[in-house]
């Protein structure tokens, strides 16, 4: 039974969503309150999702590359990082990186997602060289690489401004920026989980600059650790504010915290209900970001499938070589085949559409699926 004031709040939010009005901070807090029925929240988020994308659900064929796990930082939520002298630490050679590029192309990948640690000894030229080597060998593969945490580190190494670094990386082959490193922007939480690394100001400076020079990027929020609803709403509205100014974000990915092997291993993993609530609230608050991604690696396949009815319109991709979540206890498979992803989307009552990193529809040669091209016809333009 919902208290009458809560019921009124639900009605008011429903009215706003149905009329396409923007939700405010207090609405965000109300959406996160357990008294806001999850089913109704999902229904509203689905209304917006269908308004934006109809029945379509996107996926891509992609792979991950983490060139090193050695990192100067010790973020409390991270199970992936290693100390310089720890036997777990690794640095990939150029040959290994090229092999991964070849494997990606052989598997028909359109995208490689590249992030890693801030290695104590590797110069900026090494990070830039990874892009240059891959781009020269596999020019069709979109390189979505480096977060503001790495870019901030490159700033320190080169003493160049952010804009010059991004332009230099783009020249080397950078296609877009992934959404990582955002965690929770509010200093009350950020100072407890990753106090040394790029703060909210730096994170936004990098994405703003990327958008200004014409690069697209993604954005994320790591939830389910020390933050509360206030910090989550604050985080989402900061993203919405930058998007109002630049329009450069393509997709938002809520990331559920996985505690195993981290300094926060005493915490519980967020529940499926919290996962679905986060998907739905982000669809409703981020009215200006086109896509909401249900990252199946992190949510689990079943929850990601349900999320397609709670505001999400994208499942991410086939994904190979993911380490960040698997090191932190994710039990999802290492990889999903295209047939399986399409089946999951169809079972959820949606129409699967393969996209590239920039959400353009991809066509494949049925006799040779490794051969692909972007469909530029107007009828097939991705939303």
Interface with ligand V47, residue 153, by CB under 6 A? no
Interface with ligand V47, residue 257, by CB under 6 A? yes
Tokens linked to 94: 């150029």
Which residue's CB is nearer to ligand V47, number 30 or number 307? Answer: 307
Task: Please give the residues from 316 up to 345 whose contact with ligand V47 meets the rule CB under 6 A.
Answer: 316, 324, 328
Interface with ligand V47, residue 248, by CB under 6 A? no
**Shortest gap between Cβ of 13 and ligand V47 (angstroms)?**
28
Tokens linked to 16: 């706003």
Which residue's CB is nearer to ligand V47, number 23 or number 338? Answer: 338
Whether the Cβ atoms of residue 336 and residue 314 lie closer than 8 Å to each other: no
Q: Which residues contact 245 (CB under 8 A, 6 or more apart)?
A: 208
- Using CB under 6 A, count the residues that bind ligand V47: 20
Interface with ligand V47, residue 198, by CB under 6 A? no
Interface with ligand V47, residue 220, by CB under 6 A? yes
Interface with ligand V47, residue 175, by CB under 6 A? no
Whether the Cβ atoms of residue 180 and residue 206 lie closer than 8 Å to each other: no
Neighbours of 83 (CB within 10 A): 14
Interface with ligand V47, residue 223, by CB under 6 A? no
Interface with ligand V47, residue 173, by CB under 6 A? no
Span from 96-104, 217-225, 226-234, 272-280 in contact with ligand V47 (CB under 6 A): 217-225
Interface with ligand V47, residue 253, by CB under 6 A? yes
**Selected binder of ligand V47 within 10, 134, 222, 279 (CB under 6 A):** 222
Interface with ligand V47, residue 77, by CB under 6 A? yes
Residue 379, classed as helix, strand or coil, is: helix
Residue in the block written with tokens 């505690």: 259
Identify which of 19, 68, 60, 66 has the alpha carbon closest to the alpha carbon of residue 142. 60
Residue 101, classed as helix, strand or coil, is: helix
Whether the Cβ atoms of residue 225 and residue 77 lie closer than 8 Å to each other: yes
CA–CA dist 147, 141 (Å, integer): 19
Which residue's CB is nearer to ligand V47, number 204 or number 257? Answer: 257
Interface with ligand V47, residue 178, by CB under 6 A? yes
Interface with ligand V47, residue 286, by CB under 6 A? no
DSSP secondary structure of 200-250:
HHHHHHHHHHHHHTT-EEEEEEEESSS--HHHHHHHHHHHHHHHHHH--EE
**Shortest gap between Cβ of 275 and ligand V47 (angstroms)?**
12
Span from 48-56, 72-80, 283-291, 345-353 in contact with ligand V47 (CB under 6 A): 72-80
Which residue's CB is nearer to ligand V47, number 180 or number 311? Answer: 180
Whether the Cβ atoms of residue 382 and residue 368 lie closer than 8 Å to each other: no
Span from 178-186, 201-209, 237-245, 281-289 in contact with ligand V47 (CB under 6 A): 178-186
- Bridge partners (DSSP) of residue 373 are 363
Identify which of 161, 142, 159 has the alpha carbon closest to the alpha carbon of residue 210. 161
CA–CA dist 237, 288 (Å, integer): 11
Interface with ligand V47, residue 179, by CB under 6 A? yes
**Shortest gap between Cβ of 215 and ligand V47 (angstroms)?**
13
**Shortest gap between Cβ of 30 and ligand V47 (angstroms)?**
26
Residue in the block written with tokens 């959404």: 179
Within the chain, how many helices (H) and strands (E) appear? Answer: 15, 12
**Selected binder of ligand V47 within 233, 255, 308, 338 (CB under 6 A):** 255
CA–CA dist 380, 383 (Å, integer): 9
**Selected binder of ligand V47 within 183, 205, 234, 275 (CB under 6 A):** 183
Interface with ligand V47, residue 372, by CB under 6 A? no
Interface with ligand V47, residue 295, by CB under 6 A? yes
Which residue's CB is nearer to ligand V47, number 44 or number 176? Answer: 176
How far is CA 279 from each of CA 236, 253, 296, 313, rounded to the nearest angstrom?
12, 8, 12, 10
Span from 19-27, 128-136, 153-161, 218-226 in contact with ligand V47 (CB under 6 A): 218-226
Binding site for ligand V47 (CB under 6 A): 77-79, 178-181, 183, 218, 220, 222, 253, 255, 257-258, 262, 295, 316, 324, 328
């Amino acid at each position: 039974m919902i208290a009458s004031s809560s019921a009124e709040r639900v009605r008011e939010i429903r009215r706003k969503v149905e009329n396409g009005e923007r939700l405010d901070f207090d609405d965000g807090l109300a959406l996160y309150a357990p008294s806001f029925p999850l089913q109704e929240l999902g229904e509203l988020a689905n209304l917006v999702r269908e308004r934006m994308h109809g029945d379509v659900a996107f996926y891509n064929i992609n792979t991950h590359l983490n060139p090193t796990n050695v990192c100067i930082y010790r973020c409390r939520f991270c199970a992936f990082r290693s100390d310089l002298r720890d036997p777990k630490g690794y640095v990939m050679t150029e040959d290994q990186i090229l092999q991964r590029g070849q494997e990606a192309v052989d598997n028909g990948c359109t995208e490689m997602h590249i992030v890693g640690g801030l290695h104590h000894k590797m110069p900026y030229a090494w990070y830039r060289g990874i892009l240059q080597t891959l781009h020269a060998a596999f020019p069709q593969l979109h390189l979505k690489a480096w977060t503001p945490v790495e870019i901030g580190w490159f700033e320190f190494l080169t003493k160049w401004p952010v804009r010059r670094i991004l332009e230099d990386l783009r020249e080397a082959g950078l296609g877009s920026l992934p959404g990582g490193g955002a965690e929770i922007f509010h200093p009350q939480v950020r100072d407890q989980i990753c106090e040394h690394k790029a703060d909210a100001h730096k994170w936004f400076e990098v994405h703003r600059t990327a958008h200004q020079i014409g690069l697209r990027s993604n954005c994320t929020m790591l939830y389910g650790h020390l933050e509360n609803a206030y910090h989550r709403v604050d985080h989402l509205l900061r993203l919405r504010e930058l998007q109002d100014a630049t329009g450069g974000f393509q997709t938002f990915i809520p990331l559920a915290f996985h505690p195993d092997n981290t300094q926060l291993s005493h915490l519980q993993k967020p529940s499926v209900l919290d996962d679905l609530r986060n998907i739905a609230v982000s669809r409703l608050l981020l009215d200006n970001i086109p896509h909401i991604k249900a990252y199946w690696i992190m949510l689990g396949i079943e929850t990601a499938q349900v999320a397609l009815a709670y505001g999400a319109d994208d499942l991410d991709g086939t994904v190979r070589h993911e380490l960040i979540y698997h090191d932190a206890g994710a039990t999802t498979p290492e990889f999903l085949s295209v047939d399986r992803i399409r089946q999951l989307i169809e079972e959820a009552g949606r129409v699967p559409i393969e996209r590239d990193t920039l959400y353009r529809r991809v066509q494949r040669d049925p006799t040779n699926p490794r051969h692909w091209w972007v469909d530029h016809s107007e009828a097939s333009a991705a939303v």
